[in-house]
Structure 1
Amino acid sequence: MPMLKEQLSLFDEAIELTVAEPLEAHDLEEIGTVIALDRGIAMVRGLSAVKNQELVQFPGGVMGMVYNLDPHYVGIILLGGFEHIKAGDCVKRTFMVADIPVSDSFLGRVINPLGNPLDEKGPVDAQRRLPIEREAPPIMHRAPIHDPLQTGIKAIDSVVPIGKGQRELILGDRQTGKTTIAIDTIINQRDKNVICIYCSIGQQISSVTKIIEILKRYNALKHTIIMVAGAEDPPGLAYIAPYAATSLGEFFMESGRDVLIVYDDLTKHARSYRELSLLLERPPGREAYPGDIFYIHSRLLERSTHLKEKYGGGSLTALPIIETQAENLSAYIPTNLISITDGQIYLSPKIFQMGNFPAVNIGTSVSRVGGKTQLPAYRQITGMLKLSYSQFEELEIFSGFSAKLDEDTLKTLEKGKRIRKALNQPKYSPIDVTEQIGIFLAVLNGVLDSVDLDKIEESEQIIGKIVWENEAFRTLLMNRGTLDNDTKNGFLQMVEDRLKKELGF
């Protein structure tokens, strides 16, 4: 008994010494143990004080993001290759959240969602780091959207214009030209002081490589950052990619610059999140998506805005892309995103199959904000354009039931065919907004009624030259002036004379 008391006394002294001389903070480490691993997620026991969305480190330097805090274990999303990780491995806390380096040096580079270069051009000098998950700017920090962001695509700039700071959804079935519209918009930002970020989510590397080559060919890579989370990467990288790209865009926006960001596409992003949620044993909802699928996209897109001058004055414009199936706009993910965004550009497979590119369905597409940013001269003619084209589409359907048509109907049909032809445009060939106004002025006022359909494209090129030669006309349009009758009639007469001379009609 005395021996036991003596041992307990020695033990108490040891405790007192430990309390009296605590270890330094940097000597403390909280370590957990991997108890299960499955296709991009890990279950870890032992990290009792870890926080949600904290980064943890696995053997080999692979990082993971804490996502489930259960009583007996922690669910972690892996952000790197996990082939060498196994049950029993140690996991260390980093006491940091997932972030990305930000810098002007990223322009023209290809990176992954963690900010690591993928283009073999060496490391990037980072000015600072920003967390990938950030609060959206409060309402009082936001300014009205008043500047247009020109896509260079006639069918969009005329009918569904986009403003700087807007969120415009691009949706349509597979292979209808959704990515092409986004790439055209990026190409059109050359020399316009707009920084572009193309965020590729879950695409094949061959597709991304092709896009990089197109941007190089059209001299658009120097103002663009390409972020890639490939189809072969862990689903965790695909999940964080759009948030990381947005943080990179916010760095430029907060310094007073205009940014365009393309998410290609959020269908794959939603599927990645569904896969991770099911592996983490979160309760599934409609179509097996977790209950917060709406929230993950709303908190992403709410970060796109136009800031007031005292908060930087920059803007972040978002073009999220979503894929529909069998033209079903009422599917779960498309309806979620339509309700979040400020309008949508719908690409119809039927229009695509008719050979009309881009295959924009004017009746279904809408811009809830961009019309206010449109040049006044353009706004003067878009109302007539929509009306004439919708009348033509109705008459075209009914004309198939009748062999005899009156003269007025035939004229409407012929003008409608020329409007449709004018709305067509080859890919990767954006057109200046002043040229677009000149083309539609000529079409709507009957100047091209006598021109054969196969010569409409040639006529457009001639009209474009006239616009660029007429400096006073261009200056009036760019300074947000309106077209009076004398200016409009003078321009139309000039176009008619030149077309007669060069095309001989």
Structure 2
Amino acid sequence: MTNKKNNNTNNSTNDQDENQNNQNQNTNVENSEQNNIQKNSTTKNEKDTKFLDNINKQNIEKTKSIKSKVIKLNSSIAYLSYVNEVQIYNEVKNLRNQTIGFVKSVHNFEIEVYLIVENDDISIDEEVNVYLTQISIKFHDKILGSVINPLGDFIMSFTSREELTQSRSSEIFQEAPNIESRSKLNDQFVTGYNIVDFMFPVGYGQRMLVIGDKQTHKTEFFIETIKNIFVNRQSCNRDKETICIYVSIGQKKSDLSRFINDMIINKVSNTMIVAATSSDPLGLQYLAPYAATSIADFYAKNNYNIILIYDDLSKHAIAYRELCLLAHEKPGRQTYSSDIFYTHSSLLERSLKYKNGGSITSLIGIESFESEIDYITTNVISITDGQLFFSSDKLKLGLKPPICTSLSVSRTGASVQLKGYKGIMGIIRQKIALYNQSLDFYKNYKEECDKSVLNNIKWGLYIINLLYNTNNSGSNGMLKQLCIKSIIEQQLFFNNYSLEDIEQELFINQINVFISNTINEIEIEIKKNASIINDNQKLYDYIKQYVMNAHNKKI
């Protein structure tokens, strides 16, 4: 019995010891876990601190400037003594905090800077500050109605608005958005010109080239397009938030003044002008299209449709060629720089339609010589989504805009057209092609022509008059275009006039009077049914029937 008791006592003692050991082990585990948590939190805090320190360091480095000295100077280009950390497009300022240029290339022994000031404002051995930030354009959100230079400096206002304080900054040289942020082009930008909107439709986000010799009314086409957008912004929902940015590159001051006066007379308030005239430094002319595109990108990301007009890129190419030759770069074809294609493609690739935002639609002016397609024109044609060819021969015939239909094309085509505008492109192309063939035959074999040849000529003149010479100005421009489309599709007035009558101005004058009276009646009627206005196809169907009835009453 005594042994049993002793055994029981020993067992209980052992159990107590085991329990004590387990408690000690649990305590040790808990202590180790707490230590690990403390270590992890300490490590995390250290990482966060290091991360914030790195960000602060980067921000300090971005605002940091490095002193350098001008060692060489020629027209439009300065060479600075080499310093570390400098990259291309870094901003260069003098000691008076005035931006004098930007870094274009960095070598082991010197830094090449494109100047945006006159040579008198800088001298050899002068100290300058090279900032580690890219050169930027500064502007105000409400800069519309103003003329600025490529750095954002206010020049004048054409809407009686006072100078605005610069509140935003955007890097001038930016990479084009990736394909994931782009959307398919499926919405038409209506220019107000029948020949363009029916045959060569332009979609929001498209890049359309405008080619033509001097004095073929390219700038007039741009002006009228801007005015049509402004006047019709209330009648077309798509144009309610449309902004126009006009870039003047290397133009004469007198030409720019005429453009500005036109904006003042028409009180156009949805447009801004970025100007670098022929008297400005070459570096400023080179910057102009990039600066305007940066502003356009800001507005497009804020859900605006931007119409960006480059007038023109051939002068931009010439300015860049002069800069490259002054920098003693090896010339390429036609003495242009070897990277001229990249220069323009990197610029125009920034035109797009955002998936979750607005769009940038580019109208790119290019000046040709005697209607020849040169090196720069060929490059830009391969980058863009279509071209409008302005012909001096068409202008001599009194056609405005003098667009040559056989050389012009839109690569988006009917896929971007409004529903009410579709279906007429094929008819017009066929009739104009037959007209051109029949006209050539008539000139050579006049005595052998039969009625079919004369009928084709009559058809061609009928369509050309309606496309080129009808007036679509005013707040009801879209209604007028739909009215003209219905006249062509239903062949109204065609049999009422002879070939000789259609060649006279009387024909088109009577058509314009009919359209004007009919549109006034239609506007009164559709106000009673506002739902029609928002559906382009229903609106066209309504106009088509109304025009037919009005034509029958007139007859």
Please classify the TM superposition score into its range, dividing by the shorter chain length: 0.7 to 0.9
What secondary structure is seen at the aligned counterpart in 1 of 2:273?
strand
1:9 maps to which residue? none
1:399 maps to which residue? 442
1:448 aligned residue (493, 498, 503): 493
User: Structure 2 CA distance, aligned partners of 1:41 and 1:278?
Assistant: 11
2:247 maps to which residue? 199
1:451-490 superposed matches below 5 A: 451=497, 452=501, 453-455=504-506, 456-470=508-522, 471=525, 479-481=535-537, 488=544
1:177 maps to which residue? 217
1:218-229 superposed matches below 5 A: 218-220=266-268, 222-229=269-276
Q: Does 1:39 align with 2:63?
A: no
Task: Check whether the contact 2:184–2:353 (CA below 8 A) recurs between aligned residues.
Answer: yes
> Does 336-345 or 347-356 show the bigger shift?
347-356
User: Structure 2 CA distance, aligned partners of 1:122 and 1:488?
Assistant: 47
2:260 maps to which residue? 212
Task: Check whether the contact 1:381–1:441 (CA below 8 A) recurs between aligned residues.
Answer: no
What secondary structure is seen at the aligned counterpart in 2 of 1:259?
strand
Tell me the amino acid that sits aligned with residue 32 of structure 1: S
User: Structure 2 CA distance, aligned partners of 1:426 and 1:269?
Assistant: 35
Q: Does 1:104 align with 2:141?
A: yes
Deviation at 1:397, TM superposition (A): 1.2
> Structure 1, residues 141-178: CA drift from partner, whole Å, max 9, x if none?
11111221110011111111111111111111111111
1:316 maps to which residue? 360
Task: Check whether the contact 1:102–1:251 (CA below 8 A) recurs between aligned residues.
Answer: no
Distance 1:89 1:122, change over 3 A: farther
What secondary structure is seen at the aligned counterpart in 2 of 1:30?
strand
Distance 1:226 1:425, change over 3 A: farther
Distance 1:108 1:332, change over 3 A: same
User: Structure 1 CA distance, aligned partners of 2:75 and 2:252?
Assistant: 19
Deviation at 1:104, TM superposition (A): 2.4
Tell me the amino acid that sits aligned with residue 72 of structure 2: A
Q: Does 1:419 align with 2:467?
A: no
2:310 aligned residue (263, 284, 295): 263
Deviation at 1:31, TM superposition (A): 2.3
Distance 1:373 1:29, change over 3 A: closer
Distance 1:486 1:99, change over 3 A: closer
> Structure 1, residues 156-203: CA drift from partner, whole Å, max 9, x if none?
111111111111111111111111111111111112321000000000
Task: Check whether the contact 2:438–2:454 (CA below 8 A) recurs between aligned residues.
Answer: no
> Does 33-42 or 250-259 show the bigger shift?
33-42
1:113 maps to which residue? 150
Q: Does 1:50 align with 2:95?
A: no
Tell me the amino acid that sits aligned with residue 518 of structure 2: I
User: Structure 1 CA distance, aligned partners of 2:478 and 2:545?
Assistant: 19
Distance 1:224 1:140, change over 3 A: same
> Does 347-356 or 464-473 show the bigger shift?
464-473
Distance 1:486 1:82, change over 3 A: closer
User: Structure 2 CA distance, aligned partners of 1:258 and 1:28?
Assistant: 36
User: Structure 1 CA distance, aligned partners of 2:540 and 2:168?
Assistant: 52
1:242 aligned residue (285, 289, 295): 289
Task: Check whether the contact 1:261–1:319 (CA below 8 A) recurs between aligned residues.
Answer: yes
> Structure 1, residues 462-485: CA drift from partner, whole Å, max 9, x if none?
224313422459975851327999
1:490-501 superposed matches below 5 A: 491-498=547-554, 500=555
Deviation at 1:408, TM superposition (A): 2.5
Q: Does 1:131 align with 2:171?
A: yes
Deviation at 1:373, TM superposition (A): 2.0
Deviation at 1:495, TM superposition (A): 2.5
Query: What is the TM-score when the length of structure 1 is the normalising length?
Result: 0.87
Deviation at 1:429, TM superposition (A): 3.8
User: Structure 2 CA distance, aligned partners of 1:232 and 1:247?
Assistant: 23
> Does 160-169 or 462-471 show the bigger shift?
462-471
Deviation at 1:88, TM superposition (A): 1.7
User: Structure 2 CA distance, aligned partners of 1:432 and 1:370?
Assistant: 21
Deviation at 1:229, TM superposition (A): 0.3
User: Structure 2 CA distance, aligned partners of 1:486 and 1:95?
Assistant: 61
2:393 maps to which residue? 350
Determine which structure has the larger helix proportion and give its number.
2
Q: Does 1:78 align with 2:115?
A: yes
1:230 maps to which residue? 277
Distance 1:299 1:398, change over 3 A: same
Task: Check whether the contact 1:196–1:259 (CA below 8 A) recurs between aligned residues.
Answer: yes
Deviation at 1:62, TM superposition (A): 4.2
Deviation at 1:407, TM superposition (A): 2.0
Distance 1:464 1:390, change over 3 A: farther
Q: Does 1:94 align with 2:131?
A: yes
Distance 1:34 1:425, change over 3 A: farther
Q: CA RMSD in A?
A: 2.5
Tell me the amino acid that sits aligned with residue 38 of structure 1: N
Deviation at 1:337, TM superposition (A): 0.5
What secondary structure is seen at the aligned counterpart in 1 of 2:114?
strand
What secondary structure is seen at the aligned counterpart in 2 of 1:56?
strand
Distance 1:406 1:83, change over 3 A: same
Task: Check whether the contact 1:31–1:46 (CA below 8 A) recurs between aligned residues.
Answer: no
Distance 1:36 1:426, change over 3 A: farther
> Structure 1, residues 254-279: CA drift from partner, whole Å, max 9, x if none?
01111111000000101111111111
1:283 aligned residue (303, 315, 330): 330
Distance 1:374 1:88, change over 3 A: same
Deviation at 1:371, TM superposition (A): 2.2
What secondary structure is seen at the aligned counterpart in 1 of 2:454?
helix
Tell me the amino acid that sits aligned with residue 548 of structure 2: L
> Structure 1, residues 401-454: CA drift from partner, whole Å, max 9, x if none?
223332232222112112112222489947723312322332453322224331
What secondary structure is seen at the aligned counterpart in 2 of 1:83?
helix
Deviation at 1:335, TM superposition (A): 0.8
Tell me the amino acid that sits aligned with residue 154 of structure 1: N
Share of identical aligned residues, percent?
A: 32
User: Structure 1 CA distance, aligned partners of 2:162 and 2:101?
Assistant: 25
User: Structure 2 CA distance, aligned partners of 1:304 and 1:376?
Assistant: 24
> Structure 1, residues 17-44: CA drift from partner, whole Å, max 9, x if none?
xxxxxxxx89986322222222211111
User: Structure 2 CA distance, aligned partners of 1:283 and 1:65?
Assistant: 21
Task: Check whether the contact 2:470–2:512 (CA below 8 A) recurs between aligned residues.
Answer: no
User: Structure 1 CA distance, aligned partners of 2:206 and 2:412?
Assistant: 7
Q: Does 1:307 align with 2:354?
A: yes
Task: Check whether the contact 1:153–1:425 (CA below 8 A) recurs between aligned residues.
Answer: no
Consecutive unaligned residues of structure 2, counting only runs of 5 or more, are 1-59, 234-238
What secondary structure is seen at the aligned counterpart in 2 of 1:380?
coil
> Does 318-327 or 54-63 show the bigger shift?
54-63
2:412 maps to which residue? 369
Deviation at 1:364, TM superposition (A): 1.2
Tell me the amino acid that sits aligned with residue 450 of structure 2: D
Distance 1:29 1:125, change over 3 A: closer
Task: Check whether the contact 2:472–2:480 (CA below 8 A) recurs between aligned residues.
Answer: no
